[in-house]
Structure 1
């Protein structure tokens, strides 16, 4: 079956301002995010891609644009099922403010029971993303053969939930996974099981340095801004 390359969008203006963007329109890449996107064609230069699938949100489309410019014949598809979690009433609010909400502890410790007010549950978010990947795997296999590689550009919580599914992890453990902006995660699917072959690869070991304010162990809802 196909190998899936998952790219988290580059750093966005919401990431740097500490805002939970969700589906808020007009959230694009900041200066660093644009530089990260510009480096993507070089990072993937040796990888033959059969297709690219994008979240419909601006920050994902901007992340893929340099790659599409470098590969004008690469087919691009849009799939809402790999769009960001619908955070509902939390969308557009400061993460620092949301940290005091009782629901945040549930999001951190028991995400399979978390549902955002006016939005969707994290369980539903994972379900739609997994369904999309299964369908795209079958489509890519049928059109390009079982050794084909394709790419999806999506969001932190979506990618983390797909990794958890591939590893057979309960959703309640997915906050133990972290993916940096514009990082590459790769999952090779086979008839019997998936294999995680890359996780959050940026090629930059600076992301391993300790960061201020991370000792409490809380996951960054929405994915965070990455290493400083």
Structure 2
């Protein structure tokens, strides 16, 4: 093969992580797959911790946040969340990778995080509130991106169908007098949602809460309930 690059290493590491899990991602395994000695990989990544950071940076680098523009902060924050979801959705192991690294050590994640902080400040939140809002928003995007991918990762359509059938029967067989809603909604709970609905509703849920809170900050009187 040609000159070994960090890009080739993390691409192969993500492929292994997607199909076999992160425990299977080792320097020795990568060296074997890439046809090089382990020392060749150590030139780029001295240990697995550095490799995981490189993987995290690579999987997010496909999403470059747009520079601040004249659109409302709501529109820009939505674009940020939806863009992050799209790029993470490509990698079934994305959530696990991000959970195992210090996200502040991932340059591409820092760019997304910094923009989320700036947009929260533009919405009128304090620095302390902006820190929490950016954290909740980004972690929600990671969770939204992971759920349907994690469910189907490494399984054939037949295996997925059987898993869904078993999970649905499990919920439907619960005592209806004790768990009436779980029994009634067993189908949509395990069979998935309409294409696109899962993502858009998840983002709507998070952003609507942020927008409502921002409005309350600007108009404190709106929090007072008229009881006359």
| TM, length-normalised to structure 1 | 0.29
* Structure with more contact order per residue of length (Cα contacts < 8 Å, sep ≥ 6): 1
| TM, length-normalised to structure 2 | 0.29
More helix by share: 2
More strand by share: 1
- Compare CA radii of gyration and give the structure with the larger one: 2
